[in-house]
Structure 1
C-alpha cells in the first residue's frame, strides 16, 4: 500500500511550481553548462564539468523526489477542515503553561512546515502531541528544551502562511 502524504493546496502548488522550474528551466540550463564545460577539453581535470555533472545529479534526484511526493500527495483544502479537534490544516493557538505566552501554529505536512512562518509538521513532537486535542485540552510535548505543557486556547480554519 502506498503511504499517502498529507499536503495543503498551497504546499501542493509550491511543489508543482518547483518541479516545473526544475524540468523546464534548470534541467536544460545544466545540459548547456555540461556541453560548454566539455568543450574545454580534458574531462579528468575539468572542475567545471564535474561541478555541472554533480548539479545535474542533484536536479534529477530532486525531480524524482518531487514526482514521488506529488504522486502520493493527499491534497487537503485547509479552509474546509472541521475545527472541533486539532487535525491537519487547522490553526492551533496554545498557551505555554509555564510562561502564559500564547503561540499559534498551523499543522501541516513535513514538506510545508516552517516554524518561522507559523507552521509545524504534524509529525514533529509538538505537532503529534496536538493531534486530536480540543479547546481546553492539555498538551504535553517533549521538546529539545525538555517536556513542556500547553493548553489549547483556540482551533481555527485558515492559513498562516
Structure 2
C-alpha cells in the first residue's frame, strides 16, 4: 500500500528513524544516503498543508517502509485525462546494501504499480499512471512486467515508452 508521508502526522519522521537504523547497521549515514532524493522528499513532506496534486509517498507493509517516491498528477501533452506519475523511486537502505532476490524485487515492483493504480482510482483520481524507470535494468525488467499485467487482466494497457512504464486502467 502506498501512503503519503509528511511531517505533520509524523510518518516522515518514522521513515527516517527506520532508515537511519538500517544505515547504521551497515556503518552508513542516512544524511549521505541518496542525499538529493531525501532532501527533496523532506522539503515536500514539510509542506503544510500538503498539495493535493503531488507529494512524497512510501510503500509500507508490515509496519516497514520499503521505498519512497515522488508522485504527482498532471495533464500531459498528447495524453487524455490526468496522469499519475511516479517521478523517482528510492529503495530503503537495506535493499541498497544487500543483494536482493528477484522475487523480492518483483513483489516490490508489483506493489508499487498496484499502489499507484489504487491512488489513481482513488485519492489522486487519474486516468493512467506512468512510472519513470531509473536505468536500463529497470527497463528490461518492466518489459516482462507489462506483459504480465495485461495477461492477468489487471490493466487494459501496459507498455514501455521511452524510459517510462505507461499503464492505463
With a CA cutoff of 8 Å and minimum separation of 6, indicate the structure with the bigger relative contact order: 1
Q: Same fold (TM over 0.5)?
A: no
When normalised by structure 2's length, the TM-score is 0.29
When normalised by structure 1's length, the TM-score is 0.30
